[in-house]
Amino acid sequence: MRTQVAIVGAGPAGLLLSHLLWMEGIDSIVLENRSRDYVEKRVRAGVCEDPTVKLLREVGLAERLDVEGMPHRGIVLRFDGEDHRIALTDLTGRTITVYGQQEIVKDLIAARLKADAQIHFEVSDVELHDVTGDKPRVTYMDSDGVAHEIQADVIAGCDGFHGISRPSVPDSDLTVYDHVYPFAWLGVLVEAPPANDELIYANHENGFALHSMRTPEVTRLYLQVDPADSLDRWSDARIWDELQTRFAIDGFALHEGPILERLLSPMRSFVVEPMRYGRLFLAGDSAHIVPPTGAKGMNLAVHDVLVLSRALKALLSEGNSDLVDSYSDTCLRRVWRAEQFSYFMTTMLHRDNHADAFQHRLRLAQLRYTASSSAAATSLAENYVGLPFP
């Protein structure tokens, strides 16, 4: 097979890149090792920044989002037994929208298949070849065990943190920045309506908790736990008891219901530089990870592929390499801003059991200042709703 851009990974990054390239008349082939059913049901991020929503509208992908998405004009910081609202829209003029990553993936797959795009699910043994030359190749086995080769001008590695794209780059050609936090998140998806119209970030002496949602009927809840913990130690009763404790203030109670899904996730920040190796370009989680506290992961991937689509258009349609040469630096400026904001939110809101009493008091002081200072609240709001895309 021959294509201009071979894309590894059918998550939001790979699919959106394929769509953006298609709009510019550039063909692509997308490879995915999971089934279509799996990727369309894989519950991940749920907060879309303002520039992400605007981009999806501009490229014709927001029909369902505008009907089913839930715009939010603020978030709540809960500490000292009280709620402290950060009025995102009043402070910035913009909003966030809660719309699940899996819903964006469904919209993208439908749009790409309507345009007769090539998306190959359930592939295996994917390998990248000759990425430092001008004719890179991808080999793989399809779902029937038949071997294939794709000849391309460019390869886009959009296959996530555990994918094969980043390991295809020699270690000597990458600088890795890795920070592991001393806590993890236990996340549950619950069949019950949200107990609040906006996200609640709760700071409690037992640890952090987050109240979020996916639909008006489904709530997403998180508990800070020890990284060495295991799911089998958390019964439904224990989960609900701890959630009710950490969110407790006068007049508030969570809506309990059947737990549909539970997941234990370590917290880390991870960045590789550069995000390009020859004709291989890394995007999204294959190049960087942020802790979910700042709601930045999927939004960073969207920015990456927007920048990459413009760069590849200039390279493949006009023979101009300036934008591909600056791709990594352009993306990394936003990545590091998001890393700093996510680190700030994570360290401010979580309780580090390895920290001393002095550090705990500093975190509380930061929370009180953020909630009481219009300047501090505006800085949080500006970063949370998302800095404008270029």
Residues 307 and 239 in one domain: no
Q: Is the pLDDT of residue 42 over 90?
A: no
pLDDT confidence tier of residue 170, bands split at 50, 70 and 90? very high
Choosing from 99, 140, 201, 327, the catalytic residue is: 201
For 333-342, the pLDDT digits (tens) are 999 999 999 9
Choosing from 99, 140, 277, 384, the catalytic residue is: 384
Choosing from 204, 296, 313, 350, the catalytic residue is: 296
Supply the pLDDT for residue 316.
Answer: 97
201 is catalytic: yes
Report if residue 85 sits inside a domain: no
Starting at the earlier edge strand, list the strands of the sheet with 147-151. 124-129, 137-141, 147-151
pLDDT confidence tier of residue 386, bands split at 50, 70 and 90? very high
CB 367 within 8 A of CB 79: yes
CA pair distance 121, 350, nearest whole angstrom: 39
CA atoms within 13 A on the CB side of 65: 30
CA pair distance 247, 29, nearest whole angstrom: 46
CB 96 within 8 A of CB 71: yes
369 is catalytic: no
- Give alpha helix (H) positions in the chain: 12-23, 36-41, 50-58, 63-68, 88-92, 101-114, 236-247, 297-318, 322-349, 357-372, 374-385
State the total domains in the chain.
2
Report if residue 89 sits inside a domain: no
Supply the pLDDT for residue 45.
Answer: 77
Residues 205 and 119 in one domain: no
For 111-130, the pLDDT digits (tens) are 999 999 999 999 999 999 99
Supply the pLDDT for residue 301.
Answer: 97
Three-state secondary-structure class, residue 80: coil
Q: Model-level pTM?
A: 0.95
Q: Is the pLDDT of residue 44 over 80?
A: no
Choosing from 99, 136, 292, 303, the catalytic residue is: 292
Residues 13 and 67 in one domain: yes
Three-state secondary-structure class, residue 178: strand
Choosing from 12, 19, 51, 72, the catalytic residue is: 72
72 is catalytic: yes
Supply the pLDDT for residue 196.
Answer: 96
**Pairing assessment for the beta strands 218-225 and 280-282 based on DSSP bridges:** unpaired
User: In the chain, what percentage of residues exceed pLDDT 90?
Assistant: 96
Q: What is the DSSP letter of 387?
A: P
Residues 171 and 319 in one domain: yes
pLDDT confidence tier of residue 146, bands split at 50, 70 and 90? very high
**Pairing assessment for the beta strands 70-72 and 96-98 based on DSSP bridges:** antiparallel
Residues 117 and 57 in one domain: yes
Residues 18 and 112 in one domain: yes
Q: Is the pLDDT of residue 43 over 80?
A: no
CB 124 within 8 A of CB 114: no
Report if residue 280 sits inside a domain: yes
Residues 252 and 234 in one domain: yes
Report if residue 86 sits inside a domain: no
- Mean pLDDT confidence for 96-101: 94
